Amino acid sequence: MESPRRDRKDSDMPSDSVHPTRRHLLTGATAGVAATALNTGLLTGPANAAPAGKGRSDGRSRTLVTAGFLWGPPSNFNMFGEQTWPTQVNSMQLVYETLFTFDIRDGTLRPQLAKSFKANYPATLTVRLRPEAHWRDGRPVTAHDVVYTVELAQRYPEVQFSDVWLYISGVTAADRHTVVFHLNQAQLNPGMIKAHLAQIPIVPRHLWERLERRYAHLSEYYTQDPLGSGPYRVQVADESQLVMVRDDKYWGRCFRGRLPAPQYIVHPVFDGNDAGNTAFERGEVDVMQQYLPEIWKLRERGLPVGTWLDSAPYHLPGAMPMMIFNTGRPGLSDPRVRRAIAFVVDYARIARDAVSNYSDPAQSSLLLPMGPEASYFDAANVAGNGWRTDPAEAVRILEEELHATKGADGVYCLPDGTRLGGWKMQAPTGWTDWQTAIEIVAENARAIGIEIIPTYPSEAETATTLYVADFDIAVWHITATTPSTPWQRFRDVLDMRGVPEPGLPASYNYGRFSHPDTAVLLDKAAVANGTELLSTLTTLDTLFMEHAPMVPLMYRPLEFFEFNQTVWTGFPTAANPTAPPSFQGAGVDWLYQIRPRRR
């Protein structure tokens, strides 16, 4: 991927795409934004700074401060280039919007740019757009924008949602407000089609057609003022913070009946969880998506903090971070070695020490044993074919099945001389929950004679090496709850179709696991229902447990959702379920429900 170009002035682009320099943004920011930044303590002073005797400043009561999404200075908001919050796929819909949003509470799709869809399986799926929707420059959002966005992913396979073309054969505009998706008869998958309806950010054709002609690669375009249909625009982006300002002409006011409550959304750039957590504790951050251990202790101290649930696990489970094995590495290529490592891990300790009991101890299934997937979870299959914390069984596999023996350093070696050690296990620096999990795994493995070395590269380096299979063992996100799970999670762990050879970036199956039965089973599950679906998923789960290409380490919320009501109140909880406890998808709804706390 080429570096973004930052030297061209796009004078013939719409006014919203002019590219101010970082210095221009700082010096040209409006007085109101500068005052807001000052009052939130992001440039100078404490979070609630205000003139003496006047209580909280008005600027702070109009500003929502968030954290957990930026771990370095934001630079380019080209959604086809650098993946910068909030303009990447599956981020909060502040700038770009999808046709529908996904509600993690019940697995439903909610109308957004579109108002309805009608499925005519196995041939087509028809989507009707809201005629009132428009881009921030005032031009209408039409079916031609949707067709153009989806076809971009066909012309540029590097686009993150290009796999939609595995499941459709074409997309057409029946009229200005009607889009028809033509389904791929050779690979029918209604769940994946619905997932893409809620995941593909729609972009304006009138801007990107010009950019396509100008740049050889979409990633070359540089902008700090992306043109979207959402309720906010980027105002300031520098080394210390991102400031977004509300578009008071946002079209969504028509169907929501109001604008989002905050006039400004500010995201400071923290250097790790600890700094962000400290700011949250002080009331300098209002709502965040990052790991905060033992949040109940803050409540016991009388701080006005909260989560979706008042007791363990505190958050709504929706994700399954995994230990991913590079199946091309000597030793790790053997499923018996991978299963031995799986048996040695202390999952209860990870739940307790790494994620503060925000998770039950992880089981060996690819199915979440709670929520919408619970009906597919086969406890007897897990007990009979899976793993559990059992170091003695790990030793038995190594010595009886693999005939491994310990060397002078206490590390097992296979009969062919392959040493079961020296493997680096990586997670991004600053991600303290995952780092603790890695340390527990390494300690557990070392106790029986397997050497795993914890490493903590940057988030960018972790992702890059993972995607191209230049790693030994890693902890990373694997498909969270979406309209297409559990099918997509099985695909992302087991399927080699569409996955390039090591050295080229993959968007799933990072360990490059391959099995001849996977494709047939996945294709069957994609269109199955009832008992046939349950049986097929059980067979896939058995294949997963027998080969252990990945190992679930914890059940994590789709996104951590912690709020401090020092400044804002009205955040959703299980007792006040006005919106999903998330940022992406339908999580944007709570922006319309919160309100400044009265003093």
The enclosing domain of 19 has a CATH number of: 3.40.190.10
Q: Which of 277-291, 336-350, 362-376, 441-455 has the least mean pLDDT? A: 362-376
Same domain for 350 and 490? Answer: yes
pLDDT of residue 2: 30
- Using the predicted structure, report yes or no on whether residue 427 has a pLDDT greater than 90: yes
Residue-number span of the structural domain to which 574 is assigned: 15-78+221-313+559-596
Rounded percentage of the chain residues whose pLDDT exceeds 90: 75
Same domain for 392 and 487? Answer: yes
Within a domain: 421: yes
Same domain for 394 and 530? Answer: yes
What count of residues does the chain have? 599
pLDDT of residue 229: 98
pLDDT of residue 22: 27
Same domain for 191 and 121? Answer: yes
What b/e string do you get for 539-568 counting C-beta neighbours within 10 Å, with b at 16 or more? ebbbbbbebbbbbbbbbbbbbbbbbbbbbb
Q: Point out the domain boundary residue: 202, 235, 268.
A: 202
pLDDT of residue 291: 86
Which residues, other chains included, contact 472 with Cβ-Cβ below 8 Å and sequence gap of 6+? 325, 326, 329, 332, 423, 424, 425, 426
pLDDT of residue 58: 67
Within a domain: 4: no
What b/e string do you get for 346-379 counting C-beta neighbours within 10 Å, with b at 16 or more? bbebbbebbbbbbbbbbbbbbbbbebebeebbbe
- Using the predicted structure, report yes or no on whether residue 413 has a pLDDT greater than 70: yes
Interatomic CA distance for residues 512 and 495, integer angstroms: 8
pLDDT in tens, 13-23: 343 333 332 22
The stretch 166-185 carries a mean pLDDT of 96
Q: Residue 38's pLDDT band (boundaries 50, 70, 90)?
A: very low
**C-beta of residue 13 within 8 angstroms of C-beta of residue 19:** no
- Per the prediction, the chain carries an average pLDDT of 89
- Domain count along the chain: 3
Within a domain: 443: yes
Measured in degrees and rounded to the nearest 5, phi and psi for residue 104 equal -65, -20
Q: Quick check: pTM over 0.75?
A: yes
The stretch 171-190 carries a mean pLDDT of 95
Same domain for 522 and 564? Answer: no
- Using the predicted structure, report yes or no on whether residue 446 has a pLDDT greater than 60: yes
Q: Which of 40-54, 107-121, 221-235 has the least mean pLDDT? A: 40-54
pLDDT in tens, 468-515: 999 999 999 998 888 888 999 999 999 999 899 999 999 899 999 999
Within a domain: 184: yes
pLDDT of residue 44: 31
DSSP one-letter string for 157-194: TTSTTGGGGGTEEEEEEEETTEEEEEE-TTS--HHHHH
Same domain for 404 and 255? Answer: no
Pairing status of strand 595-596 against strand 568-569: antiparallel
Same domain for 119 and 231? Answer: no
Same domain for 117 and 173? Answer: yes
- Using the predicted structure, report yes or no on whether residue 127 has a pLDDT greater than 80: yes
- Using the predicted structure, report yes or no on whether residue 51 has a pLDDT greater than 90: no
Same domain for 106 and 42? Answer: no
DSSP conformation class of 352:
I
Interatomic CA distance for residues 133 and 231, integer angstroms: 11
Q: How far apart are the first and last CA of the chain?
A: 51
The stretch 356-371 carries a mean pLDDT of 92
- Using the predicted structure, report yes or no on whether residue 50 has a pLDDT greater than 60: no
Residues 104/110/112/118 CA torsion (nearest 10 deg): 130
Which residues, other chains included, contact 267 with Cβ-Cβ below 8 Å and sequence gap of 6+? 65, 66, 67, 69, 70, 85, 241, 242
pLDDT of residue 37: 43
Residue (of 495, 325, 310) closest to 424 by Cα position: 325
Same domain for 488 and 384? Answer: yes
pLDDT of residue 580: 94
CATH number (domain holding residue 187): 3.90.76.10
Interatomic CA distance for residues 16 and 30, integer angstroms: 16
pLDDT in tens, 52-102: 233 345 689 999 999 999 988 988 999 998 778 999 888 999 999 999 999
Within a domain: 7: no
Higher pLDDT, 431 or 171: 171
Within a domain: 10: no
Within a domain: 413: yes
By the 10 Å C-beta count (0-12 exposed, 13-18 middle, 19+ buried), 585 is classed as: buried
Within a domain: 479: yes
Same domain for 149 and 262? Answer: no
CATH number (domain holding residue 508): 3.10.105.10
pLDDT in tens, 249-290: 999 999 999 999 999 999 999 988 899 999 999 999 999 999
Same domain for 332 and 410? Answer: yes
